[in-house]
Amino acid sequence: MLDFPRWKSWGIWLVILIGMALAIPSMIPKSQVERWQDWIPSARISLGLDLAGGSQLLLEADTADAAKQRLQAKEEEVTTELRRGEPRIAIGDVSTSGGRLSFMVRDPRQLDAAVERLRALSQPAGFTGQRDWDVQVVDSTRIVMIPTKQGEETALKNSMTVARDVVRRRVDPSGTKEVTVVNQGQRRILVAVPGVEDPDALKQLIGQTARLEFKLVDLEANPQEVAQGRAPPGSQVLPMADGSGNIAVKRRAMVTGDQLVKANQSFDQNGQAVVSIAFNSSGARRFGRVTQENVNKPFAIILDDKVLSAPNINEPILGGQAQISGNFTVETANQLAIALASGKLPVKLNVIEERTVSAELGRDSIEKGTIASVAATLAVIIFMLVTYGRFGVYATLALLVNALLILAGLAVFGAALTLPGIAGFVLTIGAAVDANVLINERIREEQRRGRKLLDSLETGYKEASTAIFDANITNTIAAVLMWYFGSGPIRGFAVVLMIGIITSVFTAVTFTRMLVAQWVKAKRPRVLHI
């Protein structure tokens, strides 16, 4: 028992000091911490949204929509390749029904050449050498392209990575807020934004695909047919965003949002909120040429297949700058600008889970939670003191250091503290108390059996350790499995438990042992009051 080498106590104090240094930033206001020197640790415990207030959304990719879009893109790619490439191959009877692209090659002699060229369009997907599209010939004139499973998966994976970045740019354009945007599983994205209490704006901002297109209005279309949703060949019917009916536009886009370099909210000459955009050089060139050829004709500004407005081209727009108008408020214009600047979402995202907690409620939870925790800790401390006297003081010190180390651990690992986390905290404090109780009771027992003071201390610590060890290992197993298989609050609980198990063994066993050893060495007591 007395054998407590100096390096060991130095080590223990060092751990405690480091723990304190890491825990301190979480206990003082954030504004203060931000003014600190770089070398001072300043990682703070982040509070979960249930404590801090804010909104959390779980988004899921609409895979049916993604597959449809992928098919449409393929259709365009294929028709462009065959009709415009050299030599030209005439095709007809194009269909995308049943999730596959099928068409007829008009001249059967060109069939092999067509297959050859289409195969070259597909990409390898996965490790098995499989390609992302399967090209087959049926009925000797018809080519069918079927998306392979690997191809779909690869495409979705790439889309989700891009989607995550797009969502992050939309939620946090300046990159300064403490938002969390992470991929979850294969087709989900979790977004947590502290401080946002009305998630509607957030949902709108994220939910916009933001596919921007400029197309010429088809003036030759029959208005009656357009109203019924029918358009001449080469054109399509789109609804107006304000719900005022349909409009026919040319299928081919003049320019698309991909060619944007800038988008921001501004005002037009009438003081109306608009979105100002600027194209890159190729976009600007195309926009200039098309507007030049179509002066005095209207063009449509289309967002996600809805027509925002269809202004007249009064004069050629040459500088690559344009304004999008469409009954915006400053806020909606700003939102659209952010959505456009962040790029279009490669896949439609649906909100499948939403949780919002107001800052007031969060603050109330923290305040009451803190008061209750402090009171609970005090109650336990008093109980320990009256039960174990001097050893109760050691247990108390261990308890306080333990709480500090858990805070430090949470700050270092960047784990957010949630309400279930507080439950985990209470449980580990309970475990730490139990470890001390086990040791102290064992020492009492050994004394009763007539052992000498030093002997009973030694045996007490030694014998109690097996029980403490087993109890903690079982809890660790539970915590690890919960963390691995659980979700949300269960994980929050598990993280605190894992940190707490380690710190409680350290404080309840090692730290108190050092205190006891130093006391015995210094005072050489003859009797033990425990």
What would you measure as the largest C-alpha separation in the chain, in angstroms? 109
Question: Taken in order 26, 32, 33, 34, is the CA torsion positive or negative?
Answer: positive
Query: Of 259 and 507, which has the nearer Cβ to other proteins?
Result: 507
Q: How far apart are CB 292 and other proteins at their closest, in Å?
A: 43
Query: Of 213 and 446, which has the nearer Cβ to other proteins?
Result: 446
Query: Of 36 and 485, which has the nearer Cβ to other proteins?
Result: 485
Query: Of 102 and 387, which has the nearer Cβ to other proteins?
Result: 387
List of residues 6+ apart from 250 with CB closer than 8 A: 215, 216, 217, 218, 234, 235
Q: How far apart are CB 406 and other proteins at their closest, in Å?
A: 15
List of residues 6+ apart from 184 with CB closer than 8 A: 58, 190
Q: How far apart are CB 195 and other proteins at their closest, in Å?
A: 15
Query: Of 336 and 422, which has the nearer Cβ to other proteins?
Result: 422
Q: How far apart are CB 394 and other proteins at their closest, in Å?
A: 14
133-138/180-184 β-pairing: unpaired
Query: Of 169 and 355, which has the nearer Cβ to other proteins?
Result: 355
Query: Of 43 and 426, which has the nearer Cβ to other proteins?
Result: 426
Report the distance separating Cα 514 and Cα 523, nearest Å: 14
Q: How far apart are CB 43 and other proteins at their closest, in Å?
A: 25
Q: How far apart are CB 480 and other proteins at their closest, in Å?
A: 8
Query: Of 268 and 353, which has the nearer Cβ to other proteins?
Result: 353
Contact 416, 457 (CB under 8 A): no
Contact 88, 82 (CB under 8 A): yes
Contact 66, 147 (CB under 8 A): no
Q: How far apart are CB 190 and other proteins at their closest, in Å?
A: 11
142-147/188-194 β-pairing: unpaired
Query: Of 222 and 358, which has the nearer Cβ to other proteins?
Result: 358
Q: How far apart are CB 62 and other proteins at their closest, in Å?
A: 9
Contact 87, 368 (CB under 8 A): no
Query: Of 60 and 153, which has the nearer Cβ to other proteins?
Result: 60
Report the distance separating Cα 157 and Cα 149, nearest Å: 12
Please report, as a single letter, which amino acid is at residue 494.
A
Q: How far apart are CB 298 and other proteins at their closest, in Å?
A: 34
Q: How far apart are CB 138 and other proteins at their closest, in Å?
A: 35
Long-range contacts of 279-285 (CB under 8 A, 24+ apart): 279/255, 279/320, 279/321, 279/322, 280/320, 281/320, 283/255, 283/259, 283/320, 284/318, 284/319, 284/320
Contact 263, 301 (CB under 8 A): no
Query: Of 57 and 105, which has the nearer Cβ to other proteins?
Result: 57
Q: Which burial class, exposed, middle or buried, applies to 320 when counting CB atoms under 10 A from its CB (0-12, 13-18, 19+)?
A: buried
Contact 61, 348 (CB under 8 A): yes
For the beta carbon of residue 490, count every other beta carbon within 10 angstroms.
13
Q: How far apart are CB 184 and other proteins at their closest, in Å?
A: 11
Q: How far apart are CB 501 and other proteins at their closest, in Å?
A: 10
List of residues 6+ apart from 354 with CB closer than 8 A: 55, 56, 57, 58, 199, 203
Please report, as a single letter, which amino acid is at residue 343.
G
Contact 178, 49 (CB under 8 A): no
Query: Of 189 and 340, which has the nearer Cβ to other proteins?
Result: 189
Query: Of 44 and 491, which has the nearer Cβ to other proteins?
Result: 491
Residue of 407, 402, 400, 374 lying closest to 41 (CA atoms): 407
Report the distance separating Cα 293 and Cα 219, nearest Å: 15
Query: Of 79 and 387, which has the nearer Cβ to other proteins?
Result: 387
In what side-by-side order are the strands of the sheet with 260-267?
260-267, 273-279, 321-328
Q: How far apart are CB 432 and other proteins at their closest, in Å?
A: 11
Q: How far apart are CB 390 and other proteins at their closest, in Å?
A: 9
- 108: three-class secondary structure by DSSP: helix
For residue 209, the number of C-alpha atoms closer than 13 Å in the C-beta half-sphere is 19
235-239/306-309 β-pairing: unpaired
